[in-house]
Structure 1
């Protein structure tokens, strides 16, 4: 017993005296792939819990089972949003992402809408298609048999039909609309208020309750199936992992930084935040039916921090970690690495202010967008500025490491006059 203890202490001292080993880019890329695998496994697990909650709601529709399904949807968003830093650097992820997280959507494609929605759209011939009410659909020149609403119908015939991006028939936001309904409050308080009776076969409201039930079941099943595909793609031998490894360590580091920089700048700071602020338009809110946008933005940032630090905490509390791009940057350009850490901390704090305000009920995200809400506008602008500064810090690391990165832009940031008067 005593010898073992002395040996352990001595061995530890020897290890501590060894010089630190250089961070290998290949090991950083391997950690990143392991984290991607864990992130999508968690996103899948939470989507399966949502699927179970939706099944329970459809089995016994009530206000209580609808509320449980909504809670499961909100819970499922947190792990999925953390995966978004993987998007822009990995072509297979970016091509797939629209199946599960495309937005904004034209609600009239899916179901009934309020008269204030309008009767037509110059940009979308399917603006009022109403799949729920229509067993036969005309999609361009194609006559589509929609008597049975199936995952294949949604994915193959309706998702981004006619190449219109707002024809969103699948994914989290289609489910969100079906659970909450339209949010007709503008920049005032309140979410969508779809009644649970829209899914009741005995107390049906809204008409076509049997078909609405079929749509909700099909779109939820499809979400789970799509996440199963992506989770498998990051396992050993999977297509996404193999594609990442095939480009080599240096290009792999470039992919990591491309994903973080592009989500931070063009996507989150630009398309998801600055555009809505420029237009003062709650329709540009990411989770607009549920008023969950504050969480979605926050967990985007949590995911970027995890990918930078090479450390991800799973839903079960375990941690996947290893050599990180931060460690590599600290070795090659310590000042630039510290700047990223500082900027990430600042951004997380600014997004947490928005999140706390919304979670407390004091001010929801769509209320922050109101033209006359100086306080809310300032909260959003401060977070946008922090995200931009975070991206600039990442770009300093890119320059120091000498890797190739192209950060996605956004007219909202780069040419605001093109999107707002």
Structure 2
């Protein structure tokens, strides 16, 4: 869930011992347990929440005598190409939306919806590149990155447009609000994190409308986009504006990972290799073990509320779950989920600890099987009673994601990096 990165460090890390009684300086730890370095303590989402170092230390000089630079370089290439693919998909969606606005009809609206669905997987796989203060989470100037404006959810629909029983609600219904990028951003998630005004899910709502059908997605009429009515003209402008904003945000991430430029990629590749590797593994482990298992699944299962479903308007939450997992799998394999690159994280792990690599393979396979067995649409699971087969299949997926998160932390430890997944005791593997 965007803008809600709860990090429960307490009890997970092994803290450095004090050099001497009364000393304020922590002594460096070298021991056979490969103890992690000290974790800084700070507020939720702050830079101080991050470990002071992702490297693990050992008194054995051969403990980490392997080169991880090929994996780090391959990762940077994967990230750049993935953001480029995501931006390209969003651009194709923009073309379909512009065609719909030029000639609103049931057919052009259906084509715009199809373009949204087709563009989503290319973005979702990039979520494995979050959770370590990369450029999607933190801008180069230190301010919050674009992620909250790209994929924030759940969405308070009435904050944007009309909903059942409120025909003139939202920014679109308020003629006093000028519809510009600046005015839309100025209202984004200010009083409540569900007051989302931008990104994939705001566009989704504007294409489908509320999901009031227990058997299918929303069904907004194309007549909402026929020009000439005040609310329709504002809705047209709003949809066009935030679609442009999404494409621009995704292009900005592609630029930050472009080769041979003064950008985040250059800084990332200049890091000590195991510091960079720590970011790689923490991103994928946190996506699978916490964000996917907890925020995307457990929260919705506990509440039973459709509002906690990720892509609720289009009823495509199942593909979000699948491609989040595939995004982590891409990182493990060093590319697409159909091949394994020789400079992949898996290849490195296999060369050092074949049993660990094989166990990780098995848990990826188990998680992929679990997510494909979940019932579709996802909100049908939320309506199912506790203990029912749909609930049991979803709970099995949660368990599979958490097991994989723990396993990825073990991979990190074996490769000499600290991995911490909120809610899972993974720091010591």
With structure 2 as the length reference, what TM-score do the two structures score? Answer: 0.78
Q: 1:246 to 1:154 in 2, by over 3 A?
A: farther
Q: Is the aligned partner of 1:385 residue 2:399?
A: yes
Compare the two structures and name the one with the higher helix fraction. Answer: 1
| SS state at 1:270 partner | helix
| SS state at 1:190 partner | coil
- Aligned residue number for residue 309 of structure 2: 285
Which digits, 9 at most, give the CA deviation of each residue in 1:282-315, with x for residues without a partner? Answer: 11110010000000110011111010111227xx
- Aligned residue number for residue 46 of structure 2: none
Query: Equivalents in 2 of 1:266, 1:114: separation in Å?
Result: 34
Query: Equivalents in 1 of 2:343, 2:399: separation in Å?
Result: 29
- Aligned residue number for residue 323 of structure 1: 343
| Contact map agreement 1:23 1:323 (CA 8 A) in 2 | no
Q: 1:43 to 1:257 in 2, by over 3 A?
A: same
| Contact map agreement 2:155 2:196 (CA 8 A) in 1 | yes
Which digits, 9 at most, give the CA deviation of each residue in 1:299-342, with x for residues without a partner? Answer: 011111010111227xxx9x894511112212222222211111
List aligned pairs for 1:101-250, cutoff 5 A. 101-115=151-165, 130-136=170-176, 146-147=177-178, 149-155=179-185, 157-162=186-191, 164-185=192-213, 188-201=214-227, 208-236=231-259, 237=261, 239-250=263-274
Match of 1:93 among 136, 149, 159: 136
Query: Equivalents in 2 of 1:91, 1:407: separation in Å?
Result: 17
Match of 2:389 among 375, 384, 391: 375
Shift of 1:92: 2.0
| SS state at 1:65 partner | helix
With structure 1 as the length reference, what TM-score do the two structures score? Answer: 0.79
Query: After TM superposition, where is structure 1 displaced by more than 6 Å over at least 4 residues in a row?
Result: none
| SS state at 2:135 partner | helix
| SS state at 2:336 partner | strand
Query: Equivalents in 2 of 1:56, 1:401: separation in Å?
Result: 50
Which digits, 9 at most, give the CA deviation of each residue in 1:241-295, with x for residues without a partner? Answer: 1232233210111111101110011100001101111111111110010000000
Match of 1:406 among 403, 420, 428: 420
Query: Equivalents in 2 of 1:234, 1:106: separation in Å?
Result: 33
Which digits, 9 at most, give the CA deviation of each residue in 1:169-223, with x for residues without a partner? Answer: 11000000000011123xx212111111001126x6xx60000000000010101
- Aligned residue number for residue 254 of structure 1: 278
| Contact map agreement 1:192 1:289 (CA 8 A) in 2 | yes
- Aligned residue number for residue 11 of structure 1: none
Question: What is the root-mean-square deviation of aligned Cα atoms in Å?
Answer: 2.1
Match of 1:77 among 120, 137, 147: 120
Query: Equivalents in 1 of 2:389, 2:380: separation in Å?
Result: 10
| Contact map agreement 1:265 1:407 (CA 8 A) in 2 | yes
Structure 1 unaligned residues grouped into runs of 5+: 1-21, 120-127, 137-145, 359-363, 411-421
Q: How many residues end up aligned between the 2 structures?
A: 351
